[in-house]
């Protein structure tokens, strides 16, 4: 049941308890919308949104790719937070970037993601069905790309320094790295090297306003390329989230959902948080084509 109640705020443990009871599958993380058109439409919309902002990521000649694209020298790194079973990593990010760090707190979800990445990395022609592998995480079998699996919450996570200490006292646990290894002796060799893209989808509602602003600020610090003037680099944060309507008086609105202990924010509420975090909104877009009856889903690109 969704209620508007300014006194209720997300509780980390309640949110994690809810997700632990959901099936560890795409259908589970998408609340029963995993078998229809939603995952494909969502992933295509996300890829196009990112390519418009970051045309250098385009691997084929197209209208999106600049004629004189700056060559990308370093491997492009993305962060996928509240990643569930790795849907965004496998269907969006690995199609465009070289290496992904995936953060997810719920054990069955991160284990499902890890098993799928391992199966995809081990895939060969004998595991193909109709010329395709049933599970495909681009670049892992070829060892040209990598995914690093980290377990923990957004509240405890600092993208600039994902693992604060190497012992078990760290609140973020390194689980594994699948695919390419720049240094086979040390799978975490590039862990502190920042990100070109920070992708946050359908998970920031689990943060209260203070934690949301703090997480966005930490993410900004971890961006690799801010540009010479601090504004024009191509690194960016993408927030793709549900939005409820603004208040009738035109002000911002936040709706608390008791079921999963999360907030749904209105467009103005999201923008207030971005402003508070000192971020600049460079592009916003509604995800078209989703089934009727859902909240309006918006993509925001922030620098």
Ligand X SMILES: C[S@@+](CC[C@H](N)C(=O)[O-])C[C@H]1O[C@@H](n2cnc3c(N)ncnc32)[C@H](O)[C@@H]1O
Q: List CB contacts of 204: < 8 A, sequence separation 6 or more.
A: 82, 154, 212, 215, 239, 241
Between residues 84 and 180, which has the closer beta carbon with respect to ligand X?
84
- 76 in Cβ contact with 98 (< 8 Å): yes
CB of 142 to ligand X, least distance (A): 24
Spatial distance between the Cα atoms of 254 and 209, rounded to a whole number of angstroms: 10
- 61 in Cβ contact with 51 (< 8 Å): no
CB of 284 to ligand X, least distance (A): 18
Spatial distance between the Cα atoms of 295 and 110, rounded to a whole number of angstroms: 26
Return the SS3 of 191. Answer: coil
Between residues 81 and 180, which has the closer beta carbon with respect to ligand X?
81
CB of 225 to ligand X, least distance (A): 24
Q: Which residue is nearest to ligand X (CB)?
A: 84
CB of 246 to ligand X, least distance (A): 23
148 pairs with which residues across the strands?
Answer: 101, 177
Distance of CA 32 to the CA centre of its chain: 20
Between residues 45 and 180, which has the closer beta carbon with respect to ligand X?
45
CB of 84 to ligand X, least distance (A): 3
Between residues 99 and 287, which has the closer beta carbon with respect to ligand X?
287
Interface with ligand X (CB under 6 A): 12, 15-16, 19, 29, 82-84, 87-88, 104-106, 109, 153-155, 201-203, 206
Between residues 99 and 153, which has the closer beta carbon with respect to ligand X?
153
Q: List CB contacts of 176: < 8 A, sequence separation 6 or more.
A: 114, 148, 149, 187
């Amino acid at each position: 049941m969704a209620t508007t109640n300014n006194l209720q705020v997300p509780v980390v443990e309640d949110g994690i308890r809810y997700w632990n009871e959901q099936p560890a599958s795409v259908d589970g993380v998408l609340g029963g919308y995993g078998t229809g058109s939603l995952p494909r439409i969502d992933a295509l919309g996300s890829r196009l949104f990112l390519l418009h902002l970051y045309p250098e990521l385009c691997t084929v000649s197209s209208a999106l790719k600049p004629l004189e694209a700056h060559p990308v020298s370093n491997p492009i790194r993305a962060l996928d937070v509240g990643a569930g079973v790795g849907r965004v990593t496998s269907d969006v990010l690995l199609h465009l970037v070289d290496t992904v760090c995936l953060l997810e707190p719920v054990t069955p979800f991160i284990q499902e993601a890890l098993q799928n990445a391992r199966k995809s990395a081990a895939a060969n022609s004998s595991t193909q069905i109709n010329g395709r592998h049933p599970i495909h995480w681009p670049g892992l079998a070829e060892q040209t790309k990598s995914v690093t699996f980290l377990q923990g919450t957004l509240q405890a996570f600092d993208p600039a320094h994902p693992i604060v200490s190497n012992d078990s006292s760290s609140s973020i646990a390194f689980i594994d790295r699948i695919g390419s290894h720049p240094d086979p002796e040390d799978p975490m060799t590039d862990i502190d090297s920042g990100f070109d893209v920070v992708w946050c989808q359908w998970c920031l509602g689990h943060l209260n306003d203070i934690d949301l602003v703090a997480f966005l600020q930490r993410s900004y610090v971890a961006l690799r390329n801010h540009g010479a003037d601090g504004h024009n680099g191509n690194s960016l944060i993408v927030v793709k989230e549900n939005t409820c309507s603004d208040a009738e008086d035109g002000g911002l609105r936040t709706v608390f959902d008791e079921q999963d202990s999360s907030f749904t924010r209105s467009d103005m509420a999201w923008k207030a948080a971005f402003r508070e975090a000192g971020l600049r909104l460079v592009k916003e877009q509604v995800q078209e084509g989703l089934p009727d009856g859902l909240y309006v889903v918006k993509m925001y690109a922030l620098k």
